[in-house]
A = this chain, B = another copy of it.
């Protein structure tokens, strides 16, 4: 019985944070035994909006690997691979580009948001515009069944499903399964500033690699309930990121319910709720920090070896896929 495959990954543009954890990393760690797991370091995609700053991408390739290892993903189980070292993905991207229209890409809501956020507008680079097609190729080239992702990635998985469906319709061969998205238990983690999304570029982030002091100071500065002026005013728990984090990361959910109750009655101050959160987050992060140390101490050569071996292993699958693709597309001439 062949195990089903997971494909997911990270853009190496910075260290990973709590939002990545709840969105995708937790599921990766949880499912690595059940699924054959492929984790992509998406450097080519990172270049679509960092093409003039490749050094930033380069610096973060090993950081992102370390973040994955630190949360308990086992390099003996998961296959870490580097996008730019998989030429089959570029080839499949070019073939997939024939199966999606320009106007369909224009309708992708995540890309629309990101274009606005980056101020691309009329100077929109083709690479950024078409990155969902590349991402479809990332998923399809390992013939993945499941994609653990955050909510903003749902439109891309849907785009992937459409493209592989079209490929199967036009060329037959039934090469690609239609991948399913798997959302984390928190759909979208708010930023420390109360913004809708934790995002490095917004500076509202707690990193998996932050030390205990950094976490405490970020938590103490967090946005809470703006309608609450005094500690004995009744407070709001909904839409309050401090409570959102408590619910997501505090192992003692009885404590969380107690804090919520007292907060709504005006019987606990923000300071105490935040101090408890800092403690809970650090308790959550401690084993992650420990594992990071463990892997860091093995040295950069060890990390490189994981990436090299993983990429080599992934290419066995991707080359097999392209062989099937060429045959289905009738371009296997010799």
Contacts and interface: CB of A to CB of B under 8 A. Distances in A.
Given A44-B94, A93-B90, A307-B333, A326 B84 contact: yes
Given A101-B122, A125-B99, A171-B54, A308 B330 contact: no
A105 B97 CA distance: 15
Interface string A163-175: 0000000110000
A176 to B, nearest CB: 16
Contacts of A125: 97-102
Interface string A237-280: 00000000000000000000000000000000000000000000
A172 to B, nearest CB: 11
Contacts of A61: 333
A51 interface: yes
Contacts of A84: 91, 326, 331
A52 B97 CA distance: 13
A167 to B, nearest CB: 10
Interface residues of A, number: 50
A24 to B, nearest CB: 23
Contacts of A170: 51-52
Nearest to A49: B98
A51 B98 contact: yes
Contacts of A123: 101, 103
Interface in A73-119: 82, 84, 87-88, 90-91, 93-95, 97-103, 105
For the residues of A in contact with B, the DSSP-based class is helix
Given A98-B48, A99-B51, A101-B122, A333 B93 contact: no
Interface of A: 43-44, 47-48, 51-52, 54-55, 57-58, 61, 82, 84, 87-88, 90-91, 93-95, 97-103, 105, 122-130, 133-134, 170-171, 304, 307-308, 326, 329-331, 333-334
B87 A331 contact: no
A99 to B, nearest CB: 7
Contacts of A91: 84, 87, 90
Nearest to A133: B126
Contacts of A43: 331
Given A54-B171, A90-B87, A105 B126 contact: yes
A130 B331 contact: no
